[in-house]
Structure 1
Amino acid sequence: MERGCFRHPVTILVGLGFPAEIQGAKEAYAWLNEWPPSKRDPTHAIALNACRAALAGEIDVETARGTLVAFARRANLLAPDAEAIAAASRVVRLTTLRPPEPAPQCDP
């Protein structure tokens, strides 16, 4: 694995809500650095500094990933996990396709 790459990419929503994958600290740093200054908050600063530190080898890249996820979640830009959505849809299908259970019989 290349230094600075995340084990699993972070999927964020960009533009009109289209998903985009951030593969590592370098991409995350670039994306965070382009964030409008008027919209930056402490969570943004933490994520930006963590990505910079990961690129310098000062912290683990997965720690930087965690701060990116926290920022994206707080900014409402974290895309839903595709596997979780697929699993939830399977559960819904299974429960809607299952025949109804018979009503319990009561003794008079």
Structure 2
Amino acid sequence: MALLELDNTNFEAEVLKSSEPVLVDFWAPWCGPCRMIAPLVEELAGDNEGKAKVAKLNIDDSSNLAEQYRVSSIPTLMVFMNGEPVETFVGPQPKAKLQQAIDAARV
């Protein structure tokens, strides 16, 4: 599974109704730290194929979702399970820390 691109049209189906954990990277193209962690997020997508979803949501294109989840600083990474955010990270994070949060949501 490739990295999912989220927007207003598919967020509910891909994240809120997902039966598996979903890591959502709230980002924007003009955000330097967002671009810096992009390869790490792509690695997580590959590492978790078949076990969890990893997705990106451009806050410029879906500002209502960023507002709904109170994203005030980017990158913000949220792990969702059963339609609810269970873990939130603000700023660049180590890959191991994000993987640990995905694994914890899967239990």
Structure showing greater radius of gyration is: 1
Greater RCO between the two (CA within 8 Å, min separation 6)?
Answer: 2
TM-score range, shorter chain: under 0.3
Q: Scaled by the length of structure 1, what TM-score is found?
A: 0.27
By percentage of residues, which structure has more strand?
2
Quick check: which one's helix share is greater?
A: 1
